[in-house]
Amino acid sequence: MATVEMPGSKVGQWVRDDQQAGTFKVNREAFTSPEVLALEKERIFDRSWLYLGHGSELKNPNDFLTRYVGGRELIFNRSRKGEYQAFLNVCPHRGAQVVREPTGNAISFKCFYHGWAFNNNGKFATKSRPGTYPDDFDCNGAVDLARVPRLESYRDFFFISYDADIGPLAEYLAGAAEILDLVADHSPNGMEIVGGTQEYSIKANWKLLVENSNDGFHASETHETYFGYLMDELGGPDAVDLKSLDQINRARDLGNGHAVVETKAPWGRPIARPLQTWGEQAKTDAESMIAELNERVGPERALLISDRDRNMGVFPNLVMNDIMAITVRTFYPDAPDRMTVRSWALAPVGEEPEARHRRLNNFLEFLGPGGFATPDDVEALESAQRGYGAVKFAPWNDISRGMHRDPPRGDDEAQMRAFWREWNRRMEAE
């Protein structure tokens, strides 16, 4: 049988990628070891583009927000001129956090500890009595707020990197950029983050959530109760189109460790795939949305936007799920067996109130810590993490599913292999 994935087999300390045999194994130590986590911070998190936030979160000049990204507290803000900026939220004086509110609007920041102050472009602006500091004290930037080494955006999605020498974001995103385009093209008016952040932690290694977020295989088992609910809502099993889910179902390696699965799922989509139960207005709204999409992006892309469901992982820790609603999710490890997660809902700017309500309803049915599905994912991840306690005697995870299938399906595990190959490449310092 033809080998359809990347050529060549690789046997590393943690990843055994055997193309010939069609097997792919990951050592569970990769999920439990503090040494692995330390190496991940150095070789992955400090050398990638990491999701920071969406442009819509800072609507006006001087708006700011604080956010924990890649293990550091940051200030994401806009200058008086409206430019987007990212700083380490650390006072250059003695290290206290300069901004302590989650969001706001400010032309300057002042540290509460000793009162060092900064313009909102990070420039040192502390008034001291003459003679307190040398005249050239603030001339070389050493007492300015430190900027995050790199900040770039793609279609209003802002990313930072702690690696000053990293290549451009668009290059790094590779094929993921096309999927972000599909998300950004939902609306002619742009997209925005809806107010409210879901913030939670999971007692599991962060890579378990990477795997879970675009794992098409687990859905029917883990989320039996969600699909049961959906069937009831739709009017019984006969009313549910599971055939399309089976027929339209593929996984794509997007390069650089990014991957997406694309299906046509039975749930409704707030963008132009209404359920019967949403009523006549939703149907009419959908028709006009499709007409608008056809006009603006052409029928081929309109179909991809309105009638396909995508779960994408952007290496290492961004998930963009464009499913029954759009969720933007990012996470970071606090320890080998613990991560913090932040999720947002993304929606078209200027969406009709009724449509916005349907979208958020749809979001909550499946997604998030109170939804009908995510709690069971959390349970599964924590259960696996407990299982890894037996790593010494049961060392290997298997993610071989569909390794010889061409093209791979969304309920295969090719998308995870894409992640792990990039992870392995970096961790083995190839």
Partner 1 sequence: MTAQDLTLARSAVQPRSRADYEDFLYREAALLDQWRLDEWYELFTPDSVYEIPTVGGGLEAQPNNSLFYIADDYRRLHHRVTRLKKPTAHAEFPHSTTVHNVNNVRIEGADEDGVRVVCCFTTYRSKHHNTDTYIGHIYYTLAEVDGEIRIRSKRIVLGMNSLQPHGKISIIL
Q: Which residue carries 């819509």 as its tokens?
A: 56
Contacts of 299 (CB under 8 A, 6+ apart): none
Site string for partner 1, 212-231 (x = CB under 8 A): ----------x-xx--xx--
In the complex with partner 1, the residue whose CB is nearer, 296 or 386, is 386
In the complex with partner 1, the residue whose CB is nearer, 73 or 233, is 233
Interface with partner 1, residue 13, by CB under 8 A? no
Q: How far is the CB of 364 from partner 1 (least distance, A)?
A: 6
In the complex with partner 1, the residue whose CB is nearer, 251 or 328, is 328
Site string for partner 1, 162-201 (x = CB under 8 A): --------------------------------xxxxxxxx
Q: Which amino acid would we find at residue 316?
A: P
The answer to whether 84 and 151 are in contact (CB under 8 A) is: yes
- Among 42, 83, 232, 398, the residue binding partner 1 under the rule CB under 8 A is 232
Q: How far is the CB of 49 from partner 1 (least distance, A)?
A: 25
Contacts of 311 (CB under 8 A, 6+ apart): 213, 214, 216, 260, 261, 319, 320, 321, 322, 323, 410
| Residues 61, 82: Cα–Cα separation, whole Å | 4
Site string for partner 1, 50-89 (x = CB under 8 A): ----------------------------------------
In the complex with partner 1, the residue whose CB is nearer, 171 or 352, is 352
Q: Which residue carries 């650390």 as its tokens?
A: 90
| Residues 74, 66: Cα–Cα separation, whole Å | 6
- Among 64, 109, 116, 344, the residue binding partner 1 under the rule CB under 8 A is 344
Interface with partner 1, residue 364, by CB under 8 A? yes
| Residues 396, 388: Cα–Cα separation, whole Å | 9
Interface with partner 1, residue 237, by CB under 8 A? no
Residues 273-292 that bind partner 1 (CB under 8 A): none
Q: Is 217 exposed, middle or buried (0-12, 13-18, 19+ CB in 10 A)?
A: middle
| Residues 389, 269: Cα–Cα separation, whole Å | 40
Q: How far is the CB of 233 from partner 1 (least distance, A)?
A: 8
- CA geometry: angle at 276 spanning 274 and 280, to 5°? 80
| Residues 121, 144: Cα–Cα separation, whole Å | 9
In the complex with partner 1, the residue whose CB is nearer, 185 or 337, is 337
| Residues 78, 72: Cα–Cα separation, whole Å | 19
The answer to whether 71 and 78 are in contact (CB under 8 A) is: no
In the complex with partner 1, the residue whose CB is nearer, 199 or 287, is 199
- Among 16, 123, 338, 425, the residue binding partner 1 under the rule CB under 8 A is 338
- Among 138, 292, 307, 382, the residue binding partner 1 under the rule CB under 8 A is 382
In the complex with partner 1, the residue whose CB is nearer, 46 or 334, is 334
| Residues 348, 318: Cα–Cα separation, whole Å | 20
Q: Which amino acid would we find at residue 221?
A: E
Residues 238-267 that bind partner 1 (CB under 8 A): none
Site string for partner 1, 100-139 (x = CB under 8 A): --x-------------------------------------
In the complex with partner 1, the residue whose CB is nearer, 233 or 292, is 233
- Among 44, 166, 380, 416, the residue binding partner 1 under the rule CB under 8 A is 380
Query: How many C-beta atoms surround the C-beta of residue 122 within 10 A?
Result: 22
Q: Is 369 exposed, middle or buried (0-12, 13-18, 19+ CB in 10 A)?
A: middle
In the complex with partner 1, the residue whose CB is nearer, 277 or 288, is 277
Query: Which residues would be at the binding site for partner 1 (CB under 8 A)?
Result: 102, 194-203, 222, 224-225, 228-229, 232-233, 338, 340, 344-345, 353, 356-357, 360-361, 363-365, 368-370, 372, 374-376, 378-380, 382, 386
